[in-house]
Structure 1
Amino acid sequence: MGRAGPAGAAQESSLRLACVWEEPPAMGTCFGLPCDVDSRDEDSSQTLFFHPSTYGSKIRLYESCQVAERIDSFHDGIIFTSRPIHLHERVTLKILKKEGPWHGGLRVGFTSMDPLEIDASLLPPFACPNLVLQGRTWAAVLPDVCGEEDTVLTFWVDHRGRVFFGRQQGVQDILLLKGVPVRAPLWAIVDVYGHTKAVQLLDPTRLCGDAGEPAPPLSPFQSDVLHAPACREFHGRPQGCTEPCVICFSHETSALLHPCGHASFCYCCAQKVFRRSGLCPLCRGQIQNISQARLGT
């Protein structure tokens, strides 16, 4: 795969074609689930985050897994949502940072692979065409106009397997690709590629203003956090505050990772991450020890 750069226009064109490659209908319309079972029903009330333990090697997650930044190069920026997406549910992103001189930008789509079962170290550098050609993933390139800083965009899949996207500043929704099997759970996938440097996952129900104005921009402190290699202080939650584990969303947070101090996981999931990679899902710092405690009580 060549570098994305001023001389890569031809390559970018070929990527666009590869990204909308459609998997033959015979390949998995139902993966590991009865065709009348939709696990998305279990997650209808859960807040959407980026998946805290499965993402590309150049990605760093911040702000409770709702901000993702690619720290180097122009690739290895694949990220997934924390839970499956409902049909017609809009995934809403804000472009926080743009970086030159790369050509090409954000790729979005859906996958029927559960991110929790994916080995992050084996993720390819590109969603398009690499991950798409592996099967069970459908993604495409967004137009360059969607890559400008402060752009708010949405994408979703309908009951016919068509993926649409739209911009807050736009006037109509646009068909991005089609042919996505919808009988199995689907996680949204985002590739922070090329000139797209950082994105924020927004809750569309919390957008304010008549025109759907997004939440206020990151504060100077939050911007500084985007460049912090790891947390070295424990930021405890307020007394009496309980939150679900950001990996399973089924149990309360009950584990404290050392030395980084992140505490957004239940003890069971923390142990799984420790055995699997040994790296904190939020800052990628090496986990040396895990304390079990019920936080905020």
Structure 2
Amino acid sequence: MGCSVSQLHDAASSAGDAAQPLFFHPLSHGSKVLLDESCSVAERAGTFHDGIVFTQRPVRLQERVTLKILKKEAPWHGGLRVGFTATDPSKMEPALLPPFVCPDLVLQGETWAAVLPDECGEEGTVLSFWVDRRGRLFYRRNQKARDVLLLKGVAVAARLWAVIDVYGCTKAVQLLDPTWPRGGTCELIPASRLSPPATRRAPACRDYLYLPGGPAEECAICLSHEASARLHPCGHASFCHCCAQKVFRSNAQCPMCRQQIQDILQASPEA
């Protein structure tokens, strides 16, 4: 798993801090889940089950959890399942997680989840889901105007963590910050092609690292401006100055490695 020690500390210390960005819980997930270095991409390795993931912090009522479908896997059937749980993932034993969120985890109590329609599993689909103050779980696909009701009866008096089951033909998903236009795909790059410092700083799941945004010359956040900024001290240089400043003002954490940003520098041509 590619999450750093600082990320594990952040996950524990920010469990009740809804101002923190959402990423996948670095420790509590299904046995077939691989996480990227930022814990924002979850991919299921092999088979079609054991792909349960949670957010690292509770989600507010009406707060939208936004996902992008990165990969499908043709041999399997069935698709993504989403919902909420009142059980703190930090207190779960990963080895005891069931293979499916529906019906297994739901039947254990304090979890409410439902299966999304097949069209939500197409590669490139962006969808949001949330729970309202009446305990109703809704989703919206590709920012269309119509909100679709999935289920009722979520216990809104409890703290709720989002739960996603990367199931069946859904192979990989990415958590997006809905306030940033991060519409690009994640490129799967062999770690051998990365510089040694980056590989040492964030060892990848298996032999790979995910780098959002694709080509280095394009900002990984807005996908429209040149990547001209370099974050100090981590050295990641996949962002334009405008987006880098927005990240710095927001939480001062690198979106790729979560390391604290101390300064924003001009990216060198070879960065």
TM-score over 0.5 (shorter chain): yes
* Equivalent of 2:123 in 149, 153, 175: 149
Cα displacement string for residues 144-165 of structure 1 (whole angstroms, at most 9, x for unaligned residues): 0000000000000000000000
Letter in 2 for 1:150: G
Number of the residue aligned with 1:91 = 65
What is the 5 A alignment of 1:173-188?
173-188=147-162
Q: How many residues align?
A: 201
Out of 83, 91, 104, the residue aligned to residue 117 of structure 1 is 91
Residue of structure 2 in register with 1:224 after alignment:
189
Q: Secondary structure at the match of 2:183?
A: coil
Q: Work out which of the residue numbers 22, 41, 47 in structure 2 matches 1:67.
A: 41
Is 1:62–1:225's contact at 8 Å kept on the other side of the alignment?
no
Confirm or deny: 8 A CA contact 2:31 2:95 kept in the other structure.
Answer: yes
Identity of paired residues, percent?
Answer: 59
Distance, in Å, in 2 between the alignment partners of 1:80 and 1:44 is 15
What amino acid is the match of 1:47?
A: P
Q: Which residue of 2 aligns with 1:215?
A: 183
TM-score (norm 2): 0.67
Residue 121 of structure 1: SS of its match in structure 2?
helix
Structure 1 residue ranges, 4+ long, deviating more than 6 angstroms after superposition: 294-297
SS in 2 for 1:85: coil
1:209-256 deviations in Å (ceiling 9; x for gaps): xxxxx43222xxx31259x9xx99313796446xxxxxxxxxx99xxx
Shift of 1:45: 1.3
CA distance in 2, matches of 1:103, 1:296: 46
Q: Secondary structure at the match of 2:104?
A: helix
3-state SS in 1 of match to 2:130:
strand
Q: Which amino acid aligns with 2:188?
A: S
Return the alpha-carbon distance in structure 1 between the equivalents of residues 66 and 86 of structure 2. Answer: 19
> Which residue, 4, 21, 32 being the options, matches 1:47?
21
Per the TM alignment, residue 63 of structure 1 is displaced from its structure 2 partner at its CA by 4.0
Q: 1:198 to 1:225 in 2, by over 3 A?
A: farther
Asked whether the equivalents of residues 107 and 127 of structure 1 are also in contact (C-alpha less than 8 Å), the reply is yes
Residue equivalent to 2:216? none
From the superposition, tell whether residues 169 and 42 of structure 1 become closer, same or farther in structure 2 (CA, over 3 Å): closer
Q: 5+ unaligned residues in a row in structure 2: which ranges?
A: 1-13, 203-229, 235-251, 264-271
Rg comparison, structure with higher value? 1
- 1:129 matched to which residue of 2? 103
> 1:296 offset after TM fit, Å?
8.1
In the aligned structure 2, how far is the partner of 1:264 from the partner of 1:205? 18
Q: Once the two structures are superposed, what CA deviation does each residue of 1:51-100 show, in whole Å capped at 9, x if it has no partner?
A: 01110000000040000000110000000001000000000000000001
Give the match's secondary structure for 2:179.
helix
The alpha-carbon distance between structure 1 residues 171 and 239, as it changes in their structure 2 partners (threshold 3 A), is closer
Asked if residue 234 in structure 1 is aligned to residue 234 in structure 2, the reply is no
- Which protein is richer in strand relative to its size? 2
SS in 2 for 1:43: coil
Q: Secondary structure at the match of 1:223?
A: strand
| SS of structure 1 residue aligned to 2:164 | strand
- In structure 2, C-alpha distance between the alignment counterparts of 1:63 and 1:155, rounded to whole Å: 24
Does the CA contact (< 8 Å) of 2:18 and 2:58 recur in 1? no
123-132 or 162-171, larger mean C-alpha shift: 162-171
